[in-house]
Every structure is written in C-alpha cells, then in structure tokens.
Structure 1
Amino acid sequence: MSEDHCASSALVSTCPECLSRGPACAWCYQEDFLDGAHASQRCDSAANLLRKGCSENMMANPQVRVEVNATLSSSQVAPRDVSLHLRPGAESSFVVEVQQLERYPVDLYYLVDVSASMQDNLDRLKSVGVALSHSMREYSSDFRVGFGSFVDKPVSPYINVHPSKIQNPCSDYEVQCRPAHGFIHVLRVTENVTELTRVIDQQRISGNMDTPEGTFDAMLQAVVCQKDIGWRPEAKHLLLVMTDQPSHLALDSKLAGIVVPHDGKCHLEGNTYVQTANMEHPTIGQLAEKLLENNIYSIFAVDQVQYKWYEDLVDLLPGTYLGRLLPKASNLKDLVVEAYKVGELYSIRALLVYSEPPVLLAWSLHL
C-alpha cells in the first residue's frame, strides 16, 4: 500500500481512523505539530511525519507482534499457542511443526444426562464404557476417563418443588429416583477403568418437569473446573456429552426468577455445582470461549430426535463433533472413536478480538 494513501483523505481526523487505513500509516499526537493545520495532516507515513517535524516518540505506529507460548514436550504440534497482533492490511507468518507421538495422553470425561428418559442409555453405558476405554487405548497408551452427571437446575418451574418430589422426583411411578441436580462431579479422570464401571453402576436416574435439560450449564463447570476434573495440561481433552434432550439457553433462567448472568467460573463444592440455582445458564458465546480457553473438544452423543437441534448450534462451539446416539447407546464406542479419528478434533481454533474502529486485530490460535 502506498504511503501517500495515509494522507490522501481529509476525512481522517482521529488516531484510530488513521491507523485503520493501513500498516504504513502513523499518527502524530505532538501538540505543536503543524500549528493551525487540519487534523488530517497528523496522519501520514512515519518517514513523512519525521520530515514534517514530528518527534518519533510522539507517534502512534503500532507494529505487528507475534507471541509464541512455550511448547509442551508431549505435544504433537509446536507451537501450541500463538498470538498475533496485526494492523489492518498487515501480514505475518509463523511456522508450525507437526510430529507423530508414540504415547499421546488423552483425557475423556463422560458428562451424562441422568434424567429418567436416559435409563436405557445409562444401563448400556456400564458395558459400552469399558469397551470404549479399551478401544481408545489403541490410539493412546496414556488414556484416562472421568465421569459426571447432570439433570437441570433444581428450582421451579424446572422441577416439582413439593418436598416429597424434591427428594424423589419419580414417586408417582413407585420408583426411587435421586434428586435433580445441575452438575455432580463423580469421578476424577483416572486410568482405573474398573473404577469407572463401579461409579456408573451406582448411578440412579432423576427427573424434571420440562423437556430441555441443563446441559450447557453442566458443560461449563466440567470445562472450567480443571483441578477438580483432573484435566492434564499435556493431554488431549475430550468432553463426551450424552443426552436425549435439548439444552436450556441463556435467559431461560428468568422463568425461575434467576437474573444473575453466569460469571464463567468454577463453583464446585464437595463435587457439587452449588451456584446452579443462583446464576443463569451460560450463553453459547461463554461456553465457546471457555472450550477454547481450556483446550477442550466436546463430543455430543445425542438422541436422533434432537440431532437437528444440536446440529444448528455446534458450528458456534469450536472443536465440536456431533453424533447420533442409537437406542441403548449401542454405537457409543464407534461414535467416540470416529470423532477422535476425524479431522474435526484436530482443527486449528482461532479467537478474534478487535477494536472499534479496527486499529489492532488480535488473533489467538490454539492447535
């Protein structure tokens, strides 16, 4: 771009407008610069401003900046994180090195909807979960699993708040159910598949009043509660979400009189999500940001009926794979293995932040 382009418009009257014209443009904010001249004269190339009498230390002329974070020794891709700060029209490049590791760690966390309609899937998971763990060991010799459950916010109108119904939502059917809950972290990621089988075997169904579940509410806790879940910094993080219903979205909580926006933080006490009744469901944008920030790839294994509902949303969640869950979760093992193998879980994910007007573009790349 020509340097003359910077000074070619009399409409430029502010520093942001000047810098947005291109990477060759600079702005002089020296008070006595060209006394009496139009403000547009302050916008020019750095060389021209110097010739006109502007001190170099009185110029706004941000440069391209590339920040490469330290590489983890067990990573297949180096660097793992790159931040680029660019002016409009500016260019930059960086080198990515890829290598195949013989022992690549993988953490898989089961986040399971335990509402009553999921009974068959929960029963099947007891055997499928073990088979899935064995299958994944073909792709990683350092594979760990964890488990958590969710239903919905335990408040009206999502659940029946009669005292007897709170303790046993299934009392009308003479079945002993567990109380509804926003999210309970049951098993920290572990190599012990036998322990996974044991905790799944102990799970009991619950119940709620409406069709949508608190899926995204529970997901955000599983994502941001890194230490509680046991996500390893050097591992590939897979969050497997099993449900047969859509999820509540942000603002749905106002039906329950909950108006405090979600703060995006971890709120586990004693492995239970304690703020579920006090904060709104997270927004899609919040969930996407936290998935990206914590390097977590989500796999939705959903009922055929709800597949379309999730299909419309997954493009908004970076690094997400969507699969149809057949009756009794009979295809769960193949679904997760396929999700791991296809390129969707290895995509480069980028978060773009910009100012208004666009003076600097900040890209954060996660590989």
Structure 2
Amino acid sequence: MKLCLMFLLLLLMERNGLCQYEETCVKSVINSCSDCVKSGPYCAWCTQLNFTSSGKQEAVRCDTRSQLIARGCEPDEIISPQNDKSTVEEKPLSVSLSSDQQPVQLSPQKISLRMRPGLSTTFSLSFKRVQGYPVDLYYLMDLSHSMKDDLEHVKGLGRDLFAALNNITAHAQIGFGAFVDKTVLPYTNTNEKKLQKPCDDDDQQCQPAFGYRHVLSMTPKEDEFREKVTEQLISGNLDSPEGSLDAMMQAAVCGDIIGWRNNSTRLIVLTTDAGFHMAGDGKLAGILEPNDEHCHMEDDVYTKSMTMDYPSVGQLATQLEKNNIQPIFAVTKDVETVYKQLSKMIPKSEVGVLSFDSKNVVQLIKSAYNKLSSKVTVTHDNLPDHVRVVYTPKCDHSGPAGDTEGVCDNVRAGQEIKFDVTVTADSCFQDTVFTIRPLGIKDTLTVNLSMKCDCECKDPQGNSHSHCKYKGGVHCGICRCNEGFIGQFCECSIGEKDEYSLRASCQRDNGTECEGRGDCVCGRCQCHSTESGSSYHGEFCECDDEHCEKYQNTLCGGNGKCKCGRCECVPEYEGSACQCRVSDKGCRTHNNTVCNGRGTCKCNRCECIEGYQRPLCQECPTCPDPCQAKLDCIECLGFKSGLAKQNCSVACKKVINHEIVDQFTLPSKECLQKDSEGCWITFKLEQMVGEDNYKAEILRDRDCPEPPSITAIIAGSIASVALIGILLLMLIKLLIYMKDLKEYKKFENEKKKSKWAEADNPLFQNATTTVTNPTFTGE
C-alpha cells in the first residue's frame, strides 16, 4: 500500500512539473562555437568579448544557458540553436472520392526540418481512409494437379467475386495469373512426353508444365474474367513445394503488364495447397544466378524460370512494400502454419484457410481485405544513419510507441486518425531526404532534413579589432588572427618561425598542445587554472597538485603534499598516499634482520625481491635448486677442481666453505650431487641473510668410482669380435643348408608329378661282348 501511494505521489509531482529534467552539457574538446553546438543539445556558447581573461580556456564559453548566465554572460550574448520545422505542402484530407482529382489520405505531404544534433522535434501526421477507394485484385492460382477441384470452382467464381468487390468500391478491377514450378529437374519431369502432359495418363484435360503465366490483366468486366479463367487447364510437377514466390515477384514488379493503377488498393490473392520454394533451392537444379527483382515477361510468360533462382522472402517483402501490394494467402489447412510464418515477415499480409474445393474463397477475401484496410501501419524507408524516428499513435485502438512503425487498428472508412512523429538526429551530416508512409497506401510524406551544426553569430565587421590587439577579427566572441599572428588575443607575432614550429614546442612527445591545460603563446605554455582555483604547472602544463592518491578520502592521507601528481610525505610517514608511519617492526626477523636481506620494508611490510615470498621473504619457489646451483662452488672450494676453479674466489663469494665435519647441527638442506669428475659429493646448505647467500658444509670425502681395467676391456673386445664372427658363419651355413633342402624338396615334388613309364626302351639293346680263346680248337 505504501509503495502504491509513493508511486502515485511521484506521478502527480511529475505531471505538475515538480520533477524536472536537469539540462546538462557534457564537453570534450571545445575550440569554437561549432564544437560547442555539436557537444550536446543543451550546450550554449557565450559570445561576450570579455567573458574570458588571459590564460583561461575559451572552452569556458560553452555550458548550459543557466550556468553561463550565472557566470556573468548576458542573455542576449548566448548562442543556442534550436530546431526549425516548416510545412512545405499540406493538402487537406479528402472527404470523398472524386473523379476529377486524386484522393488525399495523408497530410501533410512535405515537411522541412532543420535540427540540432541530439535535440528532438515532433510533428503531427494525419490519415483518413477514403470511402470507396479503388481496389485492384490479382488472383494468382496454383495449377498443379492437386488443385484440380479448386480450379473447377474458380471457373464459376467471377460473379460472386465481382459482387463482393462492388460492395467495397465502385471502382474494382480483377486480374488472373497461374503458376506451377520451374520446368527442370528435380521440380518437374523433363521427359519430353511428360513435359507436354505432366498429369496422369487418364487425365485428358492437362496443359504442358510451366513456371508462371500471366493470363488476364486488370479488368472491370466480369465476362472477360470468366472467359479467361474457363480456358485454364490443370498442369503438374514432381515435388510438393511450388514456385509461388517466383510468381508473386513477377506480379509485383511487372506493373504495366498486370495493369496496376496508380491510385488503388492493390491485392494479390494467392491460392495454393502446397508450400513454396525460396532462394537457394535453385541450386538443386544447378541454378546459381540470384533473383534480380526485375520483370522478365515475354508473351505473358516468365522467361527466367529455368535460369534464375527463386527470390528470398526478404526480396519479395521489399518489392511488395515498394509497390504498395498487400498479399492475401488463401491456403489449405495443412500449410496454414507455413504461410502464417511467411505473413509475419511480409508487412500488411493476411492468411485464410481454404475449404477442400475453394468454395469459401470469396468470404475469405472479404474478411482478409477488411482486416488489411482497417489496420493502418505508418513506417519509413531510406532512413539515414544516426537518425531515429518514433511513432506515437493517437487513436482508439493503437499499438505501443515504436521506433520502426506506428499502428492503429479497427480504423473505419472516413475516420481520421493521427500520429505524433518524433525525429532525433544524433550527429551532423549532409542534407538528406526520407519518406514516411502508410503500408499499402501510395500517399507519402517527404521529410527534408538538414542539420544546424554552425553558429550564426552577429560579429563586428572587419579583421582589425581592439579585442584582438588590432591583429585580427572577432568570430563568436573569440579572435581570428591575421596571418603572422597567433595567441588568444593575437598577441604573439610568429616572426621567422612558422606557426607549426611554435605550436610543436608546446607539445610533449607530439601529444596534445600544453596537455590541453593551457595555451601555447609564442612557443611557451601559459597554463590554465584548475577547477579549485590553483594552477597547472610544468613545461607543458602536465602537473597539478590536486590529483594525487587519497587515503581515507584525504589527499595524501593528510600527511604530505601533492606535487605534480605524487605525494611528498612528511618525515614520519611513507607510502604512495603517505598512509603509513615509518617503521620496520613488522619486517624484522628472529635474527634481527630486515626482510632477511631479500627485500625492503615499506609501510611496515616486506616488498621482496622477485621470487621471494612474504611475509619475511624466506622462500623462493621459483628460484633454481640450490644443490645444483652451488655444486660448482662446492667443488672448487672444497676440492680445488671443477668448472669454477679458475675464478673461484669471485664466483663463489656468497658461499662460505668450512672444513669436512662428521656432524652438522644447524638446520639445513642435505645434497647429493655428482661433480665434473663423476664423483659423488655429499654436502649441506644453510641459507644465510641476503639474496643467494649460503653456508656450505661438506659431510665427507668424495666417493669416486675406480677407473676401468684396460686389459679386461681389450680382452673382452677381442672375445666379443670372435664370438660374433663364429655366430655369423653358423648363420650363413644354416641359410645355405635351408636353401639346398628347399631345392631338393622341390625336385622330389617334380619327380612325383612325372607321367612317363619306368619300363625299358624297346629300341635299346644292351651291349654284348664275345671273347674267343685262340688256343681253343673246338674239340
């Protein structure tokens, strides 16, 4: 309850003017009246000659009007450009439709605005629907085979359709067009026979496949409409989606062929039972050329159907809006959702559900037309960058104020409604023009927009004025020096040096002149005063004594002085903001050192050398392992060997060496490392005060391995070579044996495969030997 009362109280205070917006001027770099005007809508410029004294920035002339008056500027010396608006053309709204002149439904028709950046201006826009305004209706029908029953009903639709339109207006016209899809694969069967008759074989009433065909231009004759529609035959294609967007694009951009009148409500009634192809689908057929949104009709046929892709939804919406065409999608129930989504992307469109044979199409068109005509949507096009337009409807059934459009619903014919149009330009630009219009209506408001970014000051004539030491003239209260002179009051003669050289000497590291805190006078910086009254100082006005670090909301903690952005503390205090008493109690260690010699004590806390850690800089997690790091020094100090023995006393001055001991009583780290000669050294390290400072204790003599036996090595090498030779010979012998065994087995196998007989050759006769005894007589 209390919250509600507080809210009502605040609301009443605002309505009675008790809560007022505070005008502010946010300044950046201000060098002229023009810079001031561009800084914000409430910035004003004082042209009073003596408003600034020597050493003061001219930027102090720029502030809100109230602040300038409070600082002594006369009201009539203040420049603060305001917006100007003028009506260039304002014809009165038409009371009724007349034949001798075009009806006026929107007023005014032209307006001129001269605006200051950031400052809004508001004007009123009136609209009134004229009773009996002409209507052009283009009936665009899907003639794929599934629409066969619908076509038969549409052939007898002419009388009812004209009767419905005549109830709306006495100036109605109807046209007719048909579409199927692109006659290429995969959308249509490209077999020659199927192209000529794409329907079923038993269907004799079928025309060849086509993309989009314009059948009848706009006509007021019912007989002509009925005759042309009666001649139409059904066609067919392969896939379910159709070329609806191709047909609608051509119907929108081919105005002369369709017969759209200049002053009429233009409607396209699309009837279909299928979805639609859109941009990108053409790639399925190898069609890569994007839709160019131009008319391509020859002999009432769309000629680019097979070579140009489908239009995108955005392209179609743009052309429908540009040509003031309002689509009505009369579709079957199963694709209603698809076309409702499409309708959301196309302004001023409606969706209705057809019956199975399209008998309700007339009632559907009447209902959709009433919705479209009773809803007035005002919007703009070609809006320049950095310009914002907000519409506030003034009607009984209005939508919320919006920066893209204003909407009034349930508007009756003859009813006048208004819109407050608020225009804001955020920056300066060249003169431009944009238009405001109701969607679906030809009437427009042309807005000529120019900017006020310069000051129109009443300057004294001539270029020699006493305010400028007679070396220059006055422009908007500040001096414009003649050639050869510079300075706030043209008091500096350039002489032999040019102006660029003089100004360069006032810039630190090629930065801003005098750091933006002073004026460059004759090559030296004259510093301005700070907001509190003190002065900037330094060669380039880089210093001030007000912007040092604070402690407990006090500059330099109250324990020092601010000098050029840094605190100089009294002797008892230290720190960046003099916030600490000088003390090292918190930095003392048990051996009475400060931070173990590895850091400095500031504000009673150790600031350690890199690597060592607070609170007392004891450990160094990132430092190398001391056992490995100090090995060379242990070797050179303890055993006079190693890499560091040439410069041992210098390199190892932070390592204290002691005699070899058997016991080690101090806490330390035990190390076991191998030296440069391969011997193991056992030692302990204790870190002393200071950075990288150690006390070393060698625990025992080096443990060096015995040198290898040369004789054993040679004997072992010879034995190894002999053994390897014997093994190689055995391996070779084994390989030869395995090869011979393989060849023998191969021979045996071949022998078994032989097919010749083992009997003796009949032609072969054994040799016979006859021996005769010469002494034998035969007796």
TM over 0.5: yes
Output the CA distance in 2 between the equivalents of 1:176 and 1:306: 27
Q: Which residue of 2 aligns with 1:93?
A: 123
The answer as to whether partners of 1:318 and 1:349 remain within 8 angstroms in 2 is no
Deviation at 1:353, TM superposition (A): 4.4
Task: List alignment gaps of at least 5 residues for structure 1.
Answer: 11-17, 27-40, 48-60
CA offset digits 1:208-266 (Å, max 9, x no partner): 11110010110011111111011111111111111111111111111111111111111
Output the CA distance in 1 between the equivalents of 2:349 and 2:110: 21
Output the CA distance in 2 between the equivalents of 1:167 and 1:132: 32
The answer as to whether partners of 1:243 and 1:303 remain within 8 angstroms in 2 is yes
Output the CA distance in 1 between the equivalents of 2:351 and 2:300: 27
Secondary structure in 1 matching 2:156: helix
AA partner of residue 124 (structure 2): F
2:395 matched to 1:365? no
Output the CA distance in 2 between the equivalents of 1:298 and 1:148: 14
CA shift in 2, pair 1:347/1:83, >3 Å: farther
TM-score after normalising by structure 1 = 0.78
Deviation at 1:130, TM superposition (A): 2.1
Between stretches 172-181 and 75-84, larger displacement belongs to 75-84
AA partner of residue 75 (structure 1): P
Q: Which residue of 1 aligns with 2:195?
A: 166
The answer as to whether partners of 1:217 and 1:281 remain within 8 angstroms in 2 is yes
Output the CA distance in 2 between the equivalents of 1:210 and 1:65: 58
Secondary structure in 2 matching 1:149: strand
2:364 matched to 1:335? yes
2:281 matched to 1:209? no
Output the CA distance in 2 between the equivalents of 1:312 and 1:242: 16
AA partner of residue 341 (structure 2): D
2:245 matched to 1:245? no
1:289-300 alignment, distance < 5 Å = 289-300=318-329
Output the CA distance in 2 between the equivalents of 1:303 and 1:159: 22
The answer as to whether partners of 1:64 and 1:90 remain within 8 angstroms in 2 is no
CA shift in 2, pair 1:210/1:99, >3 Å: closer
Output the CA distance in 2 between the equivalents of 1:305 and 1:9: 62
Output the CA distance in 1 between the equivalents of 2:133 and 2:366: 15
2:353 matched to 1:324? yes
Q: Which residue of 1 aligns with 2:377?
A: 348
CA shift in 2, pair 1:99/1:219, >3 Å: closer
CA shift in 2, pair 1:81/1:235, >3 Å: farther
CA shift in 2, pair 1:78/1:354, >3 Å: closer
Q: Which residue of 2 aligns with 1:307?
A: 336
Output the CA distance in 2 between the equivalents of 1:127 and 1:165: 29
AA partner of residue 186 (structure 1): V
Q: Which residue of 2 aligns with 1:187?
A: 216
CA offset digits 1:306-346 (Å, max 9, x no partner): 00111111011111011001111111111111112225564
Q: Which residue of 1 aligns with 2:105?
A: 77
2:306 matched to 1:277? yes
Output the CA distance in 2 between the equivalents of 1:183 and 1:229: 13
Q: 1:261 aligns with which of 279, 285, 290?
A: 290
Identify the structure with the greater helix proportion. 1
AA partner of residue 206 (structure 2): C
Deviation at 1:280, TM superposition (A): 1.2
CA offset digits 1:69-99 (Å, max 9, x no partner): 9899443612497799897773332331425
Output the CA distance in 2 between the equivalents of 1:250 and 1:294: 21
Q: Which residue of 2 aligns with 1:30?
A: none
Count, aligned residues: 328
The answer as to whether partners of 2:350 and 2:372 remain within 8 angstroms in 1 is no
Between stretches 339-348 and 242-251, larger displacement belongs to 339-348
Output the CA distance in 1 between the equivalents of 2:83 and 2:288: 41
CA shift in 2, pair 1:66/1:343, >3 Å: farther
Output the CA distance in 1 between the equivalents of 2:169 and 2:342: 30
The answer as to whether partners of 1:301 and 1:324 remain within 8 angstroms in 2 is yes
CA shift in 2, pair 1:83/1:207, >3 Å: farther
The answer as to whether partners of 1:153 and 1:181 remain within 8 angstroms in 2 is yes
Deviation at 1:123, TM superposition (A): 0.6
Q: Which residue of 2 aligns with 1:121?
A: 150
CA shift in 2, pair 1:149/1:78, >3 Å: same
Output the CA distance in 2 between the equivalents of 1:108 and 1:115: 22
Output the CA distance in 2 between the equivalents of 1:229 and 1:184: 11
Task: List alignment gaps of at least 5 residues for structure 2.
Answer: 1-20, 30-36, 45-58, 66-81, 95-100, 390-433, 442-779
Output the CA distance in 1 between the equivalents of 2:267 and 2:227: 21
AA partner of residue 204 (structure 2): V
CA shift in 2, pair 1:288/1:322, >3 Å: same
The answer as to whether partners of 1:111 and 1:242 remain within 8 angstroms in 2 is yes
Deviation at 1:23, TM superposition (A): 6.3
Output the CA distance in 2 between the equivalents of 1:300 and 1:262: 22
Secondary structure in 2 matching 1:127: coil
AA partner of residue 232 (structure 2): Q
CA offset digits 1:101-155 (Å, max 9, x no partner): 3x42111110000000001111111222321211210111111111000011111
Output the CA distance in 2 between the equivalents of 1:93 and 1:205: 55
CA shift in 2, pair 1:258/1:66, >3 Å: farther
AA partner of residue 228 (structure 1): I
Q: Which residue of 2 aligns with 1:37?
A: none
Q: Which residue of 1 aligns with 2:461?
A: none
Deviation at 1:349, TM superposition (A): 4.7
Output the CA distance in 2 between the equivalents of 1:345 and 1:266: 31
> Is the radius of gyration larger for structure 1 or structure 2?
2
Deviation at 1:355, TM superposition (A): 5.5
The answer as to whether partners of 1:320 and 1:345 remain within 8 angstroms in 2 is no
Output the CA distance in 2 between the equivalents of 1:155 and 1:88: 56
The answer as to whether partners of 2:108 and 2:125 remain within 8 angstroms in 1 is no
CA shift in 2, pair 1:349/1:318, >3 Å: farther
Output the CA distance in 2 between the equivalents of 1:339 and 1:332: 10
2:161 matched to 1:132? yes
The answer as to whether partners of 2:145 and 2:234 remain within 8 angstroms in 1 is yes
AA partner of residue 300 (structure 1): F
2:229 matched to 1:200? yes
Secondary structure in 2 matching 1:329: coil
Which of 1 and 2 has higher RCO (CA within 8 Å, sep 6+)? 1
Output the CA distance in 2 between the equivalents of 1:174 and 1:286: 38
AA partner of residue 290 (structure 2): P
Output the CA distance in 2 between the equivalents of 1:233 and 1:355: 27
The answer as to whether partners of 1:292 and 1:349 remain within 8 angstroms in 2 is no
CA shift in 2, pair 1:99/1:120, >3 Å: closer
Secondary structure in 1 matching 2:287: coil
Deviation at 1:183, TM superposition (A): 1.2
Output the CA distance in 1 between the equivalents of 2:225 and 2:166: 15
The answer as to whether partners of 2:24 and 2:42 remain within 8 angstroms in 1 is no
